[in-house]
Structure 1
Amino acid sequence: MHIAFDLSFTHTEGRWARQGSWVGRDFPDVRMFMELAQTAERAGVDMLFFGDGSGIPDTWRGSIAPAVEWGIQWPRHDMAPVIAAMSTVTSSIGFGLTYSSTFMHPFYVARLLNSLDHVTSGRIAFNVVTSTRSADAANYGYDELLEHDLRYERMEEFIDVCQALWGSVAPDAIVRDRDSGRFADPTKVAAIDHRGRFFTVKGPLPAVPSPQISPVLVQAGNSPRGIAASARFADVVFGFGANLGGQQRHRRMLDEALVAEGREPADVGILWATQVIVGRTEDEARTRRAEVLDFWDEEAVGAFLSHNTGYDLSGLPASFLLGDLRDRIHAAQASQSGLVARLVAEHGDGYRMDRAEFFEHGWKSATGIDHTLTGDPAGIADALEENFAATGARGGYMLSSPLGMPSGFDDIAELLLPELGRRGALAPRYAGRTLRENLTP
C-alpha cells in the first residue's frame, strides 16, 4: 500500500489548540511544514497532500461568523509556496496541490504546475476538483454554481487543455547548443489551438518541459459522473473511507468505467481518506480521541456540514425523509456525496430521520470519528491490511490526524509506518526518480 499524509486541516476545527500543537509557531509558519516533510520522508511517506477551498464557509445561516469564530475550514492559504519550501529540504517525497477546474483557467494552472514540477524535480501531483461551495463561487464572480454534470464537463475539458499544453513542447525540443547559440527546435514546439465549450487557448505553453511532463493527476469524485471523469484521466483516485460497502462499490464502479475507457483497472489505485489516532497503547489512543470530541458544538458542526455539502442545513425541520433532503441538495447544485449520500445508502430514501439524529451523525462526520482508526500500531495495521485486501489491494491510504500539529503525524510516522513496514505491507520506498514512478504502477 502507498501512504499519503493529508495536511489540509492541520490548523482548523480546533487542531491548533490541542495539546502539543503548533508550539512556538502559528499557522502558516513554513518551518513547521518543512520539519514535518523531513519526518514524513524518513518514514517513507509517498506524498504530502493539500486540499483547498477559497471561500470562508458562509452556508450555515448565511453567515461567515460561526466559521470565523471557531476556525471551521479556514483560514486556507495557497500552499504552492509552502510546497516549494518543503521540496528544498527533501529529495524523494511527493506533493499534492489542489485547484478548482470550475473557477481557474487551465493555461494558468498548467504553467504553474510545470514550474512547481521543475522546482521539486518531478514530485508534483495535481488534485483537480469541481467546486460545490457558494462561498468559493462568490469570490470568482459567480452568482450560482454550474449544474453538477456541467462542472464535470468543464473539468474534463480543463484537463484536456492542460495535457495539450504540457505536450505542446516536445521533451527533446530544447537543444541548448552553446556553439551555435540555438536554444530549441521550433518544429517541436506547436500551438494547441484549442476551441471548446468552456475554453479557448492558443498555446503552446511557454515553458521547458518538466521532469514528469504532466504531474500525477488526482481526482476525488465518487458520484457516477465523478467516477466517469476519474476513469477518463486520473492517475490516482482520492476515495472516501469509513464504509467498506461504499468503498467496494466505488472500486467496482471505477473498474467498470476504466474498462469502458480502454484503461487497465490495475493501473489506477484509490487512496482512501482515513483518519488515524495512534498511541503506544490502546488506552493512550482512546485518551487522545476523547480530546478531539470535546471541541464540537452544533454551530461548529452546522458550519462544517453546510459548507461541505453546499446547502444550508440550519433550516432542517424536526423530521424529514432522507430522500427528500438529498433531492433538495441536488436541486441546489450542491454536493451529491458526503454525509447525506452515506445516510441514504445506509438507511434508504424513505427513512425518516429527526433533526437530533441527523446532527448526531453530523457530529461524527465533522469530527471524522466515523472514519477514524484508533488504537495501538498493531491494531491499526491489522485494520488497514484487512481493508486494503477487501477493497482490491490497489492504492493505499490518505492519512489525516485530528491531533496536534505535528505530533499527530509524527506518531503515524514513528509508530504506525514502521509496524506496516515490518509486515511488508508498504510499497517499495522511493524506487523511482519522480512521484509518478513512485506512486503509480
Structure 2
Amino acid sequence: MMKLAFDLSFTHTEGRWQAPGSWVGTSYPDHRMFTEIAVTAERAGIDMLFFGDGVGVPDTWKGSMDAAVRWGIQWPRQDMSPVVAAAAQATTRIGFGLTYSSTYLHPFYLARLMNSLDHVTGGRIALNVVASGRVSDAANYGFDTLMPHDRRYERMEEFVEVCRRLWASAEPGVVVEDRTTGQYGDPTKLHRIDHRGEHFAVRGPLPTVPSPQGRPVLVQAGASPRGIAASASFADIVFGVGGDRDRQVRHRADLDAALERAGRDPATVGILWAVQVIVGVTAAEAQQRRAELLGGLSLEGIGTYLSYNSGFDFSGLPSSFVLGEIAAEIEAAQSTQAGFVAELVERLGADTRISRAEFFDAGWRHSTGYDQTIAGTVEDVADQLEDQFEATGRRGGFMITNPVCMPGSLYDVAHLLVPELRRRGLRPDSYPGSTLAENLLGRPLSCRLS
C-alpha cells in the first residue's frame, strides 16, 4: 500500500497564511485549527501528520533576521508537542511525527518526552531525528560555529542508541500492582543502561513504564552519503526529496545498499517522498492555481529562504558566478551537502556560470515549490503518484508538503485524491491497526537493541 503523510510544518510561513482558504477565522498557532485538521485527515485515512522544526530565526540574509520577520520566512515556530497532545484527544488512529535535534538536545530528556507522548497518543508518535545545520539554531544553544557535518551524524547515531536503550530499560510487566501484597513494581524488570560514550554519559534507567509502541517510530531524512548511512543504522522510515525521479531512484538504491551493509532488510524500510500537489476540477484550474504560487513571496523573502536553508548569504552574490565555487563555499562551511545549490550543480554542472538574475529566478521556483508541484485533475495527480511509486520500488509513499493553503489543500487531498487512490487499490479503506507503527510500517516495532 502507498503510505501518505501530511506535512504541517509550514502552513503559515512563506506567505501561505494569506492564501485564499488558509487560516480562516483563526491564526497560527491555534491548537483548535490543528485539531480540526487532524480530525479531517483521520477521516481520510492519512497515516501521519508531520511537524518539522527549527529553533532559530533566519538571519543569514544580510546577517539580519528583519527580512524573515517581515515576510514570515520559516518564522514563527512553536514546539508542537502540546498541539499534538491536544489533537490526539480528538482522534484515535492517525499518527503524529515530531522533529527534534540530536545535535543540541540530550537523549535522556528526549527519550522521556517521547515515551510520555506515546502514552498520551495511545501509541501514535514518531520521532524525526535531525542533525542541525543552521548557525541561528547553534547560537541559541551557546555555539558560535556549527559542528562538522559528519560529526553531527556520529552524535546522532549515539544519541539514538542511548534513546533506544532507555526505552528498553523498563521491560513489559514492570508494573505489578498487586493489591494483596501492596507491591507496585518488579525491580528485576527495570535496568540501568550505564552508557558512557564519546558524546553522552547516561546511567539510566528511564523512570517510566513502557509505552504502547515500546518506542516511537524513528524517522530520518539525511540525503548526503553520511546521512543515508545514519538512516540505514536506525530509521524505521526515511524522508526523501521530491521533484527529480532520477535522484529518487538513486536515493533508493543508495539506501538499499547502506541497509544491506548495516545488516538490515531493505524491504522493511520505506521512503516517504516529498511532493506538492494541487488537485483541480479541471487541469486548467489546477495549473492556474500552480501559477499563483509564484506570487506568494517577495524577492527579499526568496533570498531569505534560500540563504537560511543553504547556510550562505546570497545577498552579496556578484552579477555572475560559477555554481561549483558557491557550492564549495557552502560545503566548506559545513552547512549542507544538499539543497538548492547542489540541485543546480547536478542539473547544470559545476562549471556553469550563471547570472544573479538567473539564480534568483530558479530560486523563486524552488522556494515556492513551483517546479516540484504536481498539478492537474485528480486522475492526473494519481497517475503521477502511482508512476513514481512504481519507479521507486513500491516501498513507502509520499509526504505531501508545503500545502498551498490550509485547511483547503487538505480537503482536496481528503475528499478527491484519497478516494481515487483507494479506487486504484493503492490505499486501504480503513486503518489496519491501532498504532502508528502498524499503520505506517505494517508491523509492530522491535525494541530489541541488536
> Which interval holds the TM-score relative to the shorter structure?
over 0.9
After the TM superposition, which of the residue ranges 8-17 and 320-329 deviates more from structure 2? 320-329
In the alignment, which residue of structure 2 is the partner of 1:30? Answer: 31
2:103 corresponds to 1:72 = no
Instruction: Give runs of aligned pairs for residues 187-206 of structure 1, distance below 5 A.
Output: 187-206=188-207
Residue identity opposite 2:161 in structure 1: D
Aligned mates of 2:414, 2:330 — CA distance in 1: 39
In the alignment, which residue of structure 1 is the partner of 2:271? Answer: 270
In the alignment, which residue of structure 2 is the partner of 1:169? Answer: 170
In the alignment, which residue of structure 2 is the partner of 1:295? Answer: 296
Task: Report the Cα offset of residue 164 of structure 1.
Answer: 0.6
Deviations 1:45-67 (A, max 9, x none): 00000000111100011000111
Task: Report the Cα offset of residue 187 of structure 1.
Answer: 1.1
Give the superposed CA RMSD: 1.1
Instruction: Give runs of aligned pairs for residues 54-65 of structure 1, distance below 5 A.
Output: 54-65=55-66
3-state DSSP of counterpart to 1:109: helix
Aligned mates of 2:415, 2:230 — CA distance in 1: 36
2:312 corresponds to 1:311 = yes
Does structure 1 conserve the Cα–Cα contact (< 8 Å) formed by 2:133 and 2:335?
Answer: yes
Aligned mates of 2:347, 2:269 — CA distance in 1: 27
Residue identity opposite 1:232 in structure 2: S
Instruction: Give runs of aligned pairs for residues 126-275 of structure 1, distance below 5 A.
Output: 126-275=127-276
Does structure 1 conserve the Cα–Cα contact (< 8 Å) formed by 2:148 and 2:334?
Answer: yes
Aligned mates of 2:203, 2:83 — CA distance in 1: 31
Residue identity opposite 1:29 in structure 2: D
Aligned mates of 2:147, 2:253 — CA distance in 1: 28
Does structure 1 conserve the Cα–Cα contact (< 8 Å) formed by 2:422 and 2:429?
Answer: no
* TM-score between the two structures when normalised by the length of structure 2: 0.96
In the alignment, which residue of structure 1 is the partner of 2:411? Answer: 410
Change (3 A) 1:230 1:427: farther
Deviations 1:411-433 (A, max 9, x none): 11111111111111125632112
Aligned mates of 1:365, 1:155 — CA distance in 2: 29
Deviations 1:21-43 (A, max 9, x none): 11110111111111111110111
Gapped regions of structure 1 (runs ≥ 5): none
Aligned mates of 1:36, 1:419 — CA distance in 2: 20
In the alignment, which residue of structure 1 is the partner of 2:432? Answer: 431
Aligned mates of 2:195, 2:232 — CA distance in 1: 22
Residue identity opposite 1:339 in structure 2: F
Residue identity opposite 2:32 in structure 1: R
Task: Report the Cα offset of residue 402 of structure 1.
Answer: 3.5
Aligned mates of 2:163, 2:157 — CA distance in 1: 10
Aligned mates of 1:183, 1:393 — CA distance in 2: 47
Aligned mates of 2:402, 2:411 — CA distance in 1: 10
3-state DSSP of counterpart to 1:184: coil
Aligned mates of 1:183, 1:320 — CA distance in 2: 69
Aligned mates of 1:178, 1:359 — CA distance in 2: 70
Aligned mates of 1:205, 1:427 — CA distance in 2: 37
2:348 corresponds to 1:347 = yes
3-state DSSP of counterpart to 1:177: coil
Does structure 2 conserve the Cα–Cα contact (< 8 Å) formed by 1:400 and 1:409?
Answer: no
In the alignment, which residue of structure 2 is the partner of 1:87? Answer: 88
Task: Report the Cα offset of residue 283 of structure 1.
Answer: 2.1
Of all paired residues, the percent bearing the same amino acid is: 61
Residue identity opposite 1:342 in structure 2: E
Residue identity opposite 1:251 in structure 2: R
Does structure 2 conserve the Cα–Cα contact (< 8 Å) formed by 1:292 and 1:402?
Answer: no
Residue identity opposite 2:398 in structure 1: Y
Aligned mates of 1:26, 1:290 — CA distance in 2: 25
Task: Report the Cα offset of residue 261 of structure 1.
Answer: 0.5
3-state DSSP of counterpart to 1:102: coil
In the alignment, which residue of structure 1 is the partner of 2:448? Answer: none
Task: Report the Cα offset of residue 401 of structure 1.
Answer: 4.2
Does structure 2 conserve the Cα–Cα contact (< 8 Å) formed by 1:2 and 1:427?
Answer: no
Aligned mates of 1:429, 1:146 — CA distance in 2: 44
Residue identity opposite 1:337 in structure 2: A
Deviations 1:84-115 (A, max 9, x none): 11100110000000000011111111000000
* TM-score between the two structures when normalised by the length of structure 1: 0.98
Aligned mates of 2:402, 2:379 — CA distance in 1: 18
In the alignment, which residue of structure 2 is the partner of 1:45? Answer: 46
Aligned mates of 1:215, 1:263 — CA distance in 2: 19
Task: Report the Cα offset of residue 391 of structure 1.
Answer: 0.9
3-state DSSP of counterpart to 2:374: strand
Residue identity opposite 1:182 in structure 2: Q
Residue identity opposite 2:258 in structure 1: A
3-state DSSP of counterpart to 2:62: helix
Aligned mates of 1:80, 1:178 — CA distance in 2: 35
3-state DSSP of counterpart to 1:335: coil
After the TM superposition, which of the residue ranges 158-167 and 16-25 deviates more from structure 2? 16-25
* Structure 1 stretches of at least 4 aligned residues deviating more than 3 Å after TM superposition: none
Gapped regions of structure 2 (runs ≥ 5): 443-450
In the alignment, which residue of structure 2 is the partner of 1:330? Answer: 331
Aligned mates of 2:312, 2:158 — CA distance in 1: 27
Aligned mates of 1:424, 1:402 — CA distance in 2: 25
Does structure 1 conserve the Cα–Cα contact (< 8 Å) formed by 2:321 and 2:354?
Answer: yes
Residue identity opposite 1:312 in structure 2: D
Deviations 1:149-198 (A, max 9, x none): 00000100110110010001112222221211111111111111111111
In the alignment, which residue of structure 1 is the partner of 2:391? Answer: 390
In the alignment, which residue of structure 1 is the partner of 2:13? Answer: 12
Task: Report the Cα offset of residue 314 of structure 1.
Answer: 1.5
